Amino acid sequence: MIKLANHYCCVVEISGTGILIEGSSGSGKSSLALGLVERAVNRGLQGFLIADDQAILEAKGGVLHARVPPQLAGKVEIRGFGISTTPYKESAAVSIVAKMVGDELVERMPDAATCSVQGLKIPLVKVPIRHEEAAVRIIFACLEAMNRNSDQSAAC
């Protein structure tokens, strides 16, 4: 049986790797999502918004898939401006969960961690709330580590 769940989060895809961004309301999830896509494009990589604010999650065949609810497709909230439109993809396979947390919970040298989403273990990385540039650096370092290990299921 395939289980679907509506999850409050943002999702992006960077060079084929889906990143699910979790955090409380106002933590900077949308800003981080846009920052990740912008950094990817500036580096000549592919970067796409999948979903802002919420995504439909589905565990299928041992892979976590995220897709945008149709009413939110191509829409993103920019704090201080409102709703904007942006290029998007409809879905991505999630390989990393980025959890936005308070600065005191971001370890300097963290051990590899995972979390459970829809019954699947997904690599977890903690990133600081409202510190977009630092969070982008952490996630890109995680992506590079995963690419070096060439095992997208390994924790970063």
Cα maximum dimension of the chain: 42
Residue 59 is predicted with a pLDDT of: 94
pTM of the model: 0.91
Contact 10, 32 (CB under 8 A): yes
Alpha carbon 1 to chain centroid, angstroms: 25
Q: Which residues contact 105 (CB under 8 A, 6 or more apart)?
A: 126
pLDDT (tens digit, 9 = 90+) per residue, 114-154? 999 999 999 999 999 989 999 999 999 999 998 888 655 45
Domains of the chain in start order, with CATH, are: 4-148 (3.40.50.300)
pLDDT digits (tens, 9 = 90+) for 28-69: 999 999 999 999 999 999 999 999 999 999 999 999 999 999
Please tell me whether residue 10 adopts helix, strand or coil conformation: strand
pLDDT digits (tens, 9 = 90+) for 81-124: 999 999 899 999 999 999 999 989 999 999 999 999 999 999 99
Paired residues of 120 in beta bridges: 117
Report whether pLDDT(17) > 90.
yes
Q: What percent of the chain has pLDDT over 70?
A: 94
Please answer whether residues 97 and 20 qualify as being in contact, where contact means their C-beta atoms are separated by less than 8 angstroms. yes
pLDDT tens-digit map of 1-12? 456 778 999 999
Query: Which residues are CB-neighbours of 12 under 8 A, at least 6 positions away?
Result: 18, 19, 21, 33, 36, 37, 47, 48, 49, 50, 92
